[in-house]
Amino acid sequence: MTLDVDLIRKDFPILERKVGDGRQLVYLDSAASSQKPRQVIDAMSDYYALHHSNVHRGVHALAEEATALYEGARDKVAAFINAPDRNEVIFTKNSSEALNLVASVLGWAGEPYGLGPGDRVVITQMEHHSNIVPWQLTTQRTGAELAWLNLTDDGRLDLSNLDEVIDERTKVVSVVHVSNILGTVNPLDVIVRRAHDVGAIVVVDASQSAPHIPLDVQALGADFVAFTGHKMLGPTGIGVLWGRAELLNELPPFLGGGEMVGTVTMEGSTYAPIPHKYEAGTMPIAEAVGLGAAVDYLTALGMENVAAHEHEIVSYALERLKTIEGLRLIGPQTADAHGAAISFTLEVAGLGEIHPHDVGQVLDEQGIAVRVGQHCARPVCVRYGIPATTRASFSVYTTKAEIDALVEGLDYVKRFFGA
């Protein structure tokens, strides 16, 4: 089924906005945060207006309604990612917290999962800082070694030394599914197979894949998968960690407080079963409701259809951007195994490279919203010898006309700077 993008766009009030001096908004920054359909906005408004209470605590009508909505969102997420058990779905506040949770509890755990001197954690050079810094902190604290897979010149992972990097000492492999800066879709099957061959736990950052392609955690084969609501048409303040039940049951809790306890005495405490063991305190209830509505919306569209639409947009964007003299794509040059984000630099003859911040500012004056900077992936910029990039990223509501507007905007940028 081909998505009716014109009809979809009517569900997103913000896309009707005029910005600056009255120009139509062209929103090409969905990798940073997607826009929200009315269905998500209305679901959260309805919750606050009619159903709000704390969850899991009260026996009155509002408490039971709120609990049903909150736990209903968990059911929707579990179905969306094909989780074998709804209790394996842990709500967090974002992907960063989910990844920090895993890195922390593996650092605190005892055998056989815990980390210590002589153990190795493997990440990659293309990771978001949220999948680098937590592992740096954990390996520094435990004495484990941090290693990584490097990047090729064309923005792919260099797997030529995979067996040497993921060696017999490796306890954890944590890898991004789709790069937020390069758009690279990684061959997780190869990486997961090697990791499990040496007995390592596999953690996947799916922040840039869950909104765009079908995500089946059972088919993926990983042990933990993290993603966030605000990139997949849902609200900020809500993320998801999926983990295999046997691991979640064995590993220690992340935060202490209300709801995650079984019994508490002054001498010690026991912990609630999963998922509550990892959901301390009052959770983001309205945000979970909003995420559930976003999952409903994407499910109704069909993730295969979403993926097909965005592949078409990426193919078109790559084709058009390659026509711009002085534009350098950073990352894969073709739409094959390419996610919904494209990064580039822009050079003007006689002037050299225009700083991405300047590119972004001039585009903004044309009503075009892109992301500029290092995209929380500085090692990638260092690898390719650039200070930063301009990034255009797409979602279900992106049109080819918006790609055309970007190309026209970049031509204007070059004229603005004297080309």
Question: For 15-48, how does the pLDDT look when each residue is reduced to its tens digit (9 = 90+)?
Answer: 999 998 899 999 999 999 999 999 999 999 999 9
| DSSP state, residue 29 | B
Out of 78-82, 286-290, 414-418, pick the least confident. 414-418
1 band by pLDDT with thresholds 50, 70 and 90: confident
Give pLDDT tens digits for 222-238.
Answer: 999 999 999 999 999 99
Name the helix (H) or strand (E) containing 372: strand 371-373
286 backbone dihedrals φ, ψ, rounded to 5°: -60, -40
Per-residue pLDDT, 300 = 98
The candidate with the shortest Cα–Cα distance to 366, out of 308, 398, 407, is: 407
Q: CA 226, CA 176: separation in Å to the nearest integer?
A: 10
Rounded mean pLDDT, 269-295: 97
Q: CA 105, CA 135: separation in Å to the nearest integer?
A: 11
207 backbone dihedrals φ, ψ, rounded to 5°: -60, -35
Give pLDDT tens digits for 155-172.
Answer: 999 999 999 999 999 999
Which two three-digit tokens encode residue 367?
Answer: 């009503």
Under a CB-based contact definition with an 8 Å cutoff, are residues 97 and 237 in contact?
Answer: no
350 band by pLDDT with thresholds 50, 70 and 90: confident
In 216-263, which residue ranges form alpha helices assigned H by DSSP? 217-220, 245-250
Give the three-class secondary structure for 51. Answer: helix
Strand blocks (E) in 80-143:
89-92, 120-124
Rounded mean pLDDT, 290-297: 98
The answer to whether residue 419 scores a pLDDT higher than 70 is: no
Please, what is the angle between helix 285-301 and helix 303-321, to 10°?
Answer: 80
Task: Find the length of the chain.
Answer: 419
The answer to whether residue 351 scores a pLDDT higher than 90 is: no
Which two three-digit tokens encode residue 66?
Answer: 């709120």
Per-residue pLDDT, 349 = 83
Q: Determine the Cα angle at 24 with ends 21 and 27, to 5°.
A: 115
Calculate the CA dihedral of residues 134, 136, 141, 142 and round it to 10 degrees: 100
- β-partners of residue 90 are 241
The candidate with the shortest Cα–Cα distance to 236, out of 297, 300, 179, 286, is: 286
pTM summary value:
0.97
The candidate with the shortest Cα–Cα distance to 87, out of 104, 75, 100, 73, is: 75
Q: CA 243, CA 195: separation in Å to the nearest integer?
A: 16
The CA–CA distances, whole Å, from 126 to 145, 183, 191 equal 18, 10, 14
268 band by pLDDT with thresholds 50, 70 and 90: very high
Strand blocks (E) in 291-332:
327-330
Give the three-class secondary structure for 41. Answer: helix
Per-residue pLDDT, 58 = 87
418 band by pLDDT with thresholds 50, 70 and 90: confident
DSSP string spanning 126-194?
T--GGGTHHHHHHHHHH--EEEEE-B-TTSSB--TTHHHHS-TTEEEEEEESB-TTT-BBP-HHHHHHH
Per-residue pLDDT, 24 = 96
Give pLDDT tens digits for 131-150.
Answer: 999 999 999 999 999 999 99
Residues that are catalytic: 376
Of residues 268 and 349, which shows the higher confidence score?
Answer: 268
| Mean pLDDT for the chain overall | 97
Give pLDDT tens digits for 240-254.
Answer: 999 999 999 999 999
Which two three-digit tokens encode residue 107?
Answer: 């650092």
Long-range contacts of 45-48 (CB under 8 A, 24+ apart): 47/285, 47/286, 47/289, 48/286
